[in-house]
Structure 1
Amino acid sequence: MPIGLDKYLGVHAQALNLRSQRTELLAANLANADTPGYRARDIDFKSALAQASGNAKPGVQLQTTNAAHIGPKLVNGAPSPELKYRTPLAPSLDGNTVDAQLEQAAFAENTVRYQATLHFLSSKFRGLMTAITGQ
């Protein structure tokens, strides 16, 4: 009886991809902490994961009626998550909205959650290998 690997892994593979994208965004925010006019960006992880797993709530959807129309932006074959701009707690005079301490905390939390997702995937693969080899 064949089983689809995507179905077996569940949402963890999509979560790992989103966590990776969020890590890149948070790193870019930290790298541009002193850049005048830079606006900190982030992903709403909950809604992005719902969108990636196909459980997104109905809302405004992009619809194309012609093959020549520009479609939604794709990242690795899946729709990219919507980037949101972070609202600063204390705006700076140069227009930069990066709060380094907030970004470092978000980066650390995202790293822990990334590691947890890797652990879940690792145990799924370990269970699959145990079932295949019978050990």
Structure 2
Amino acid sequence: MAIGDTNVLSLLRESMGFLSERQRVLAQNVANADTPGYTPNDLSEAEFHRALTSQMRNSASSSAVAMTASQPGHIVPQGGAGGRTYSVASRPDSETTVNGNSVNLEEQMVRAQENRLRYETAMSLYQKSLALMRMAARPAGR
């Protein structure tokens, strides 16, 4: 088993993948803030948590959460492609303008900031976990 194949690291990697995809969706909402008739989108966190829980229950013997190659040019991870795609759902903000656009930049920026903090937390935990494993694997006295 490789050092990166532990349950904790798999969960953190999957979380960072979800948060990266959510950041892309939120950035798309901000980019379309002036597009007539545009309704903002978001990813369902409940769907992500259900999928992750299901993956962890079904893989008692295999702790890795599979990654996916979402574009033809992506490198396929070792062990083959698999993994998850997240469904984008329409999530209108609190107000709609005259041209039918319902993107509220303040709400989108709050969501993006919250998402960034979650990503940074997951990344920090990932790095700390790896550092602890490296320290434990070092020979005594080093």
- Report how many aligned residue pairs link the two structures: 118
The separation in 2 between residues aligned to 1:118 and 1:25, in whole angstroms, is 20
Give the aligned partner of residue 124 of structure 1. 129
Give the aligned partner of residue 12 of structure 2. 12
The gaps in structure 2 that reach 5 residues or longer are 57-67, 71-80
Q: TM-score, normalised by structure 2?
A: 0.72
Matched, 1:23 2:23: yes
Stretch of structure 1 that moved more, 81-90 or 22-31: 81-90
C-alpha displacement at 1:102, in angstroms?
Answer: 0.2
Distance 1:17 1:123, change over 3 A: same
Distance 1:12 1:110, change over 3 A: same
The separation in 1 between residues aligned to 2:69 and 2:47, in whole angstroms, is 16
Give the aligned partner of residue 100 of structure 2. 95
- Conserved in 2, the CA contact under 8 Å of 1:48 and 1:82? no
**Following superposition of structure 1 onto structure 2, how do residues 1-135 of structure 1 map, counting pairs within 5 Å?**
2=1, 5-54=5-54, 75=70, 77-134=82-139, 135=142
Paired residue type of 2:15: A
Give the aligned partner of residue 66 of structure 1. none
Counterpart of 2:102 in 1: which secondary structure?
coil
The separation in 1 between residues aligned to 2:19 and 2:37, in whole angstroms, is 26
C-alpha displacement at 1:127, in angstroms?
Answer: 1.0
Paired residue type of 2:109: Q
Percent identity over paired residues: 21
- Conserved in 1, the CA contact under 8 Å of 2:93 and 2:104? yes
Paired residue type of 2:130: F
C-alpha displacement at 1:37, in angstroms?
Answer: 1.7
Q: TM-score, normalised by structure 1?
A: 0.75
Counterpart of 2:89 in 1: which secondary structure?
strand
Cα deviation 1:39-79 (Å, max 9, x = unaligned): 200012232133144259xxxxxxxxxxxxxxxx9747322
Task: Extract structure 1 runs of 4+ deviating beyond 2 A.
Answer: 52-56, 73-77
Paired residue type of 1:11: L
Paired residue type of 1:128: M
Paired residue type of 1:130: M
